[in-house]
Structure 1
Amino acid sequence: MTRLIAITALLLALCLSPLAASATSAGDQVTTTRALQRGAVLRPADVTGPYAQDDYVGWELTRSVRAGAVLTPRHVREPLLVKRNETVTLIFRQGPLTMETTGRALDEGGDGARIAVMNSSSRKRITGRIVGPGLVEVTP
């Protein structure tokens, strides 16, 4: 009989421990205040929780989420400044010389990302670094 009571107590403790753990860690999670679509840039009113303003505001969602969903770093990315197939301005700087032309982005990326771009006039594929919305700097 004592063995049965000990087993029951152990099973009860095991069953209740995930509930207690999730209740304590729920306060540490960043959650959404409303349903958001993929590609939405998070604003202060969209998220709640510790470090939400520092870690998530200004980032772009990689997938749609429901209201009250727990956000993790895999749900967000830096906002895209250049999208694939978008017309971009190519900037070439060397010393005092600066040249600009147009191109077509073959990849997408955020600030500082290196992407492939096709020069519209020469039709050559080159690589550049994103320096702003629709701006790609090409280095020799």
Structure 2
Amino acid sequence: MRFWIFLLAICLGADALAESVVPTRTIRANAIITEIDVVTKSGRIANGFDRALDVIGQEAKTTLYAGRPILFDDVGPPALVTRNQIVMLRFETGGLVITTEGRSLERGGIGDRVRIMNLSSRATLFGQIHADGSVHVKN
């Protein structure tokens, strides 16, 4: 019986041992988070980070305030493409590959879907940013 009471006490106390990642200072949107910017604090938030390594190197999507837990939607991969940047557009379908230049109308990181203006036709397209900084347009 004592074993079960002990086990129950351990399970209920597990949340007390859990930690949340919080900023040490105010971090502005679009800033890259470094190891001196965050610490862990006791207490757990359901949709927040519990390891500082998961946040370090990410980019703040919104302003992060000191002492408030960092939530999953508050950070993301660093932007590769900035607004008004000239990027390479790539369209592939059935063996046909078309490449041209475009102007990014939005800011984004790897895997983000952004609006792009084709500089030749002035048409607005949507594409996904790849690791090399090019934007692949889907049909």
Structure 2 unaligned spans of 5+: 1-15, 41-49
Structure 1 unaligned spans of 5+: 1-23
Question: What is the RMSD of the two structures over their aligned residues, measured on CA atoms?
Answer: 3.0
Which has the higher mean CA deviation after the structures are superposed, 121-130 or 71-80? 71-80
SS at 1:36 equivalent? coil
Name the CA shift for 1:133/1:83 in 2 (closer, same or farther; >3 Å). farther
Rounded to whole Å, the distance in 2 between the matches of 1:113 and 1:70 is 24
Report the residue type matching 1:32 in the other structure. Answer: P
SS at 2:120 equivalent? coil
Q: CA deviation at 1:138?
A: 2.3
Q: CA deviation at 1:118?
A: 1.1
Rounded to whole Å, the distance in 2 between the matches of 1:103 and 1:82 is 12
- 1:45 to 2:44 alignment: no
Rounded to whole Å, the distance in 2 between the matches of 1:99 and 1:137 is 10
Q: CA deviation at 1:86?
A: 2.2
Q: CA deviation at 1:124?
A: 1.7
- Taking only the aligned residue pairs, the percentage that are identical comes to 36
The TM-score, its normalising length taken from structure 1, stands at 0.63
Show the 5 A alignment for 1:4-83: 24=16, 28-49=19-40, 50-53=50-53, 55-83=54-82
Q: CA deviation at 1:128?
A: 1.7
How many aligned residue pairs are there? 117
| Higher fraction of helix | 1
Name the CA shift for 1:70/1:126 in 2 (closer, same or farther; >3 Å). closer
